[in-house]
Amino acid sequence: MSATRPLPWLDKALALVAGGEACVVVTVAQARGSTPREAGVKMLVWDSGILGTVGGGQLELNGIVRARAMLANSTASQAATERFSLGPQLAQCCGGSVTLLFERLDAAALPWLTSWADAEQCGQDAVVVTHLRDGHARKTFLDPARSGPASLPGPVAERLPGFVAGTAQCHLIESHDRRDTYVMEAIGDRSHPLYLFGAGHVGRAIVQALAPLAFRTSWIDSRSDAFPAELSAGLVTHGAENPPVIVDQAPPGSFFLIMTHSHPLDLDICARVLQRDDFAFLGLIGSETKRARFAGRLRAIGIPPQAIGRLTCPIGIPGIASKEPAAIAAAVAAQLLIVAERQSADRGLSVAAVGGDG
């Protein structure tokens, strides 16, 4: 199992706590109705800074005030949840409700922070259960495929199958007497595998545009010296002599973008992708004319018309005429997000930004 990309909130929390400075991690534990962010995203607050966002506006301002109050009083509750009605309480037009989980982190949190980081680093699928009672929180790390219901609190066991199936990301459970609260969170790589062939100007712009989004990009070019010296964290590059063979290594549900320096190579990669029927998206840079020519050549080598119909060319959402690499990248990123949102909705998940919020 491949390693997941780093979580900035986790790296920063580890650095702060290891250096003797307390911080508060704020998690959207539940989001109901129309809300600015989805359950599971995080914001880290410390005396001199903030990392990530739980949605901005009055919700975030209230969250920061509450977190700073926890930092100022080390004898107060170390963990708590608070529900915010966005319309009636905060005058935000979203109108839904959000429950935030606040956890004050100090040296005592180092063991579970380290366990979380280790799980992320090795790509281990796990479920973190945070049990809140009397102002304190206890973390339990579960292997969702091996944890038997008998060893878990009833409400947690009931929700575990959703995490095993990969259809649950974060869930809040409250006991009837409200003495016990459980927040279940999935650890594991929920990003979408994307294979980008070509390290030219547009390829570089697309890599930059996708860096903070939930895509796990493998960047391929037969010219090993084509990649920039500095790469985004989590980005994998391949200086492959025969790029089409990498198509066979891609897992089901992968996204493919093709924009190499060679049209014959583009055609070979397209054919390789279209020979499998389990990909999520195939995009080829070019014009309608290029698509028509490729379609004819693909038919000539035996690719069926229904498969060729899945080839997207030109790429990018309609209405953006600029040929600037950054503009093309923005249009392509938006197009990929639309497809990824649809794919995630089919699995009961949502596509969250990865860059600053975890």
> Domain coordinates of the chain in residue numbers?
8-187, 192-345
Both structure tokens of 130: 């945070």
* Rounded distance between C-alpha atoms, residue 176 and residue 195, angstroms: 48
What's the pLDDT score for residue 149? 59
What's the pLDDT score for residue 245? 92
Contacts of 78 (CB under 8 A, 6+ apart): 70, 103, 104, 135, 136, 137
Give how far the C-alpha of residue 309 lies from the chain's centroid of Cα atoms, to the nearest Å.
29
192-345 under CATH 3.40.50.720, yes or no: yes
Contacts of 158 (CB under 8 A, 6+ apart): none
What's the pLDDT score for residue 60? 93
What's the pLDDT score for residue 357? 39
What's the pLDDT score for residue 351? 43
Rg (CA), the chain: 23
What's the pLDDT score for residue 178? 80
What's the pLDDT score for residue 346? 65
What's the pLDDT score for residue 65? 95
How do strand 281-284 and strand 311-312 relate by DSSP bridges? parallel
Query: Do 258 and 270 form a contact (C-beta atoms < 8 A)?
Result: yes
What's the pLDDT score for residue 240? 79
Q: Which residues of the chain have pLDDT under 70?
A: 1-6, 91, 94, 123, 144-150, 166, 233-234, 344-358
